[in-house]
Structures are given as structure tokens and as C-alpha cells.
């Protein structure tokens, strides 16, 4: 699983299942090539910069998607540079809980740096903070 953090018009996003574009695209092409395989599948909608793109046909390598629908969800199609962040569109969930009843831990925050992403957990009964590694940061942090 790849992680990516970015800040844009939609706010701070730390997303699971994210990668970057492998090659620049103009505002009209319908083929999208990503840098990491097995991150996206055909039928999913991704966000690149501020544009949503629906991936239509996987060429078989999980890197190249053809016949993509540009400007999905009312966004505008624009050109994107090589290496632009690409992540699943709205609703991508990084963590599945904010309270764990088994360990009595609350999610207090998410710490992201160029070397990794961590969840900061707080155990009230022990007045103690713990961290849990979520994975390496892929890009957009530094």
C-alpha cells in the first residue's frame, strides 16, 4: 500500500492507495500512466491536482489506463506534470477507527513526514500517548 500527503484547495489529504503520474498529460488525453502498479483498478476515480479522472480500461499492467473520463465529478480537465500526485477521489480512508474499544485508545492525530506516516494514539486510562506506523510517505511531503 502506498501513502501520499498533499495540500491543495481541498485541504490537507493523507491518503492510502496513492501514487504519482508517470509522464505529463495535457488537458485532452484519455490515457493515464501511474508510477506504482496495483494501486488503482479500472472503474475507480482518482484525483490529480484538482481534477477527478475516472479510470476506464486497465491495459493489463495496472499502470496504464486508457479511455479515461476526464473532469469527473464536475471538476475541470487541466494539464498535469510528470510526478503529479494521484490518489483515490473523495472518501479514501486512511484509518478505519477513531476509538478502539479493545485497547481503549483514541486517535489523537496523524503525524506525517518525508520518511513516514504515523497515527498518534492516546490511552486515557494510562494517560499515555503511543504511535503506530501507517507506512512510508510517497511524496508531497518534505
Q: Where are the chain's structural domains?
A: 3-88, 99-135
What's the pLDDT tens digit per position in 21-49?
Answer: 999 999 999 999 998 877 888 888 998 98
The C-alpha atoms of residue 64 and residue 99 are separated, in whole angstroms, by 38
Higher pLDDT, 36 or 13: 36
State the residue for C-alpha cell 502498479.
Answer: 37
Share of residues in the chain with pLDDT > 90 (%): 30
CB atoms within 10 A of CB 93: 9
- Residue 92's DSSP bridge partners are none
| Best CA proximity match to 117, nearest among 130, 98, 136 | 136
What per-residue confidence (pLDDT) applies to 89?
A: 80
Average pLDDT along the chain: 74
Higher pLDDT, 135 or 47: 47
Amino acid at each position: 500500500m502506498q501513502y501520499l500527503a498533499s495540500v491543495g484547495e481541498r485541504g490537507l489529504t493523507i491518503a492510502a492507495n496513492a501514487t504519482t503520474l508517470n509522464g505529463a498529460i495535457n488537458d485532452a488525453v484519455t490515457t493515464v500512466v501511474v508510477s506504482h502498479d496495483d494501486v488503482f483498478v479500472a472503474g475507480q476515480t482518482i484525483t490529480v491536482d484538482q481534477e477527478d479522472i475516472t479510470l476506464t480500461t486497465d491495459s493489463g499492467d495496472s499502470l496504464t489506463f486508457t479511455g479515461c473520463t476526464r473532469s469527473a465529478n464536475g471538476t475541470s480537465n487541466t494539464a498535469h506534470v510528470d510526478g503529479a500526485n494521484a490518489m483515490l477521489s473523495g472518501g479514501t480512508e486512511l484509518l478505519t477507527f477513531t476509538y478502539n474499544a479493545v485497547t481503549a485508545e483514541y486517535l489523537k492525530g496523524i503525524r506525517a513526514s518525508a520518511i513516514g506516516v504515523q497515527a498518534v494514539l492516546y490511552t486515557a486510562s494510562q494517560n499515555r500517548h503511543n504511535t503506530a506506523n501507517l507506512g512510508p510517505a510517497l511524496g508531497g511531503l518534505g
